[in-house]
């Protein structure tokens, strides 16, 4: 039985700005190229017959020349056909980088449905690319599989259960796709791995191979497998990339920066193993703190970055205060507490904000906040 071995990826978004984590943006942009190399190494390891990149290889239409040259050079070093469909982020506009010279082993689907024949593998690879940032008409039309050959289709688009969808990103009517006659369809656009089977017909979103923010948490990877006539098999393969996680960590009882940082590191290590320090975390601190303690977020963050690649902290802790006792104080401190308390009573939606202002104020009265401290 003839098989066509495939590695399927999409949505690399090379050249992303990483605006949600600006402190490490330059490092993350470099690591995107490492991700592409990982994928190409998997192609070599599995002896893939083709690498399919189903759209949004780049994050923008205007690709930096140095990045583009690095990508072209890397792709040219591997003895393997690479098929690319431009997506909504990197459409094949007239001035697009896709409309210039690429290595001979790279084929770009620059327009409507197109077929590339690979006779020695009895296979046709089909694709259709975006030519602008939106595409309200389906690109599936024009696909007419060759009955005697394996037919692999690669597209960037959005599945829909209705034939006349308002989708702006190549609406792919699910029933039409399942009846199209392809042996495997490699999809891009959805950043999470999704696997669909209809009898022996398989179509998948590979998901993004690496997260780019805290809206893309957890493990990411590529799909590895094969297509044959009437059957396809693909498996998810995780990549060794940094992962994004959202965490809630109880810091009850902590008082010093060292205690806060130590608790956070211990919890992250327990949840994510010895490689925990490799990842990026959006941590919300919860729990009850005594005696008006407020986590010094900037200082805790600096301490954490000695042992963790990236941590962003949000303070959602509560504190125990004897408000009745404080309001009976006859000094300016008592007047301050009564003023804030009245604000809290009249604006329950912002109670937490007033409570935090109260704690900061009490610490100032007690001389615990220096003018140069950054809270």
Per-residue pLDDT of the chain (375 residues; tens, 9 = 90+): 799 999 999 999 999 999 999 999 999 999 999 999 999 999 999 999 999 999 999 999 999 999 999 999 999 999 999 999 999 999 999 999 999 999 999 999 998 899 999 999 999 999 999 999 999 999 999 899 999 999 999 999 999 999 888 899 999 999 999 999 999 999 999 999 999 998 889 999 999 999 999 999 999 999 999 999 999 999 999 999 999 999 999 999 999 999 999 999 999 999 999 899 999 999 999 998 886 688 899 999 999 999 999 999 999 887 777 778 888 888 998 899 899 889 888 887 887 788 778 877 877 776 655 544 444
> Which tokens in the block code for residue 108?
């770009």
As a whole number of angstroms, the distance between CA 355 and CA 80 comes to: 62
As a whole number of angstroms, the distance between CA 94 and CA 86 comes to: 12
CA nearest to 55, candidates 98, 101, 116: 98
State the burial class of residue 86 (Cβ atoms within 10 Å of its Cβ: 0-12, 13-18, 19+). buried
State residue 371's pLDDT score: 44
Neighbouring C-alpha atoms within 13 Å toward the C-beta of 27: 11
Specify whether the CB–CB gap between 288 and 317 falls below 8 A.
Answer: yes
State the burial class of residue 52 (Cβ atoms within 10 Å of its Cβ: 0-12, 13-18, 19+). buried
Query: How much is the CA Rg of the chain, to the nearest whole Å?
Result: 27
Specify whether the CB–CB gap between 169 and 189 falls below 8 A.
Answer: yes
- For the chain, domains (ranges, CATH) are 3-238 (3.60.21.10), 244-365 (no CATH)
Strands (E), 119-275: 123-128, 150-156, 158-160, 171-173, 184-188, 194-198, 201-205, 221-228, 231-238, 244-250
Q: Which helix (H) or strand (E) holds 218?
A: none
State residue 368's pLDDT score: 52
Looking at the DSSP bridge assignments, the partners of residue 24 are: none
State residue 25's pLDDT score: 97
As a whole number of angstroms, the distance between CA 56 and CA 37 comes to: 17
Alpha carbon of residue 215 to chain centroid: 6
As a whole number of angstroms, the distance between CA 289 and CA 180 comes to: 61
State residue 355's pLDDT score: 78
């Amino acid at each position: 039985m003839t098989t066509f071995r495939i590695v399927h990826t999409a949505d690399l978004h090379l050249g992303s700005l990483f605006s949600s984590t600006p402190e490490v943006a330059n490092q993350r942009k470099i690591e995107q190229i490492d991700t592409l190399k990982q994928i190409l190494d998997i192609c070599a390891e599995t002896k893939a017959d083709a690498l399919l990149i189903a759209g949004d290889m780049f994050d923008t239409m205007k690709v930096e020349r140095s990045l583009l040259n690095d990508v072209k050079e890397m792709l040219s070093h591997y003895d393997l056909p690479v098929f690319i469909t431009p997506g909504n982020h990197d459409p094949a506009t007239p001035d697009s980088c896709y409309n210039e010279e690429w290595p001979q082993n790279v084929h770009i689907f620059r327009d409507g449905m197109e077929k590339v024949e690979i006779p020695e593998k009895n296979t046709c690879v089909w694709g259709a690319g975006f030519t602008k940032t939106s595409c309200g008409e389906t690109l599936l039309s024009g696909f007419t599989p060759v009955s005697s050959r394996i037919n692999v289709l690669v597209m960037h688009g959005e599945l829909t259960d209705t034939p006349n969808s308002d989708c702006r990103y190549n609406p792919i009517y699910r029933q039409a796709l399942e009846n199209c006659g392809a042996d495997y369809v490699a999809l891009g656009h959805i950043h999470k791995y999704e696997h669909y089977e209809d009898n022996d017909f398989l179509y998948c979103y590979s998901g993004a191979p690496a997260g780019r923010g805290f809206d893309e948490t957890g493990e990411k990877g590529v799909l590895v497998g094969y297509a044959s006539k009437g059957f396809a098999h693909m498996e998810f393969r995780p990549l060794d990339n940094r992962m994004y996680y959202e965490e809630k960590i109880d810091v009850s009882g902590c008082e010093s920066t060292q205690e806060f940082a130590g608790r956070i590191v211990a919890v992250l290590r327990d949840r994510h193993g010895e490689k925990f320090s490799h990842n990026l975390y959006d941590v919300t601190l919860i729990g009850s703190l005594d005696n008006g303690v407020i986590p010094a977020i900037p200082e805790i963050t600096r301490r954490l970055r000695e042992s963790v690649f990236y941590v962003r902290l949000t303070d959602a802790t509560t504190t125990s205060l004897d408000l009745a006792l404080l309001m009976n104080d006859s000094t300016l401190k008592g007047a301050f507490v009564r003023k804030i308390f009245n604000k809290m009573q009249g604006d329950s939606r912002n109670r937490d904000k007033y409570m935090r202002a109260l704690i900061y104020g009490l610490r100032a009265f007690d001389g615990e906040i220096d003018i140069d401290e950054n809270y």
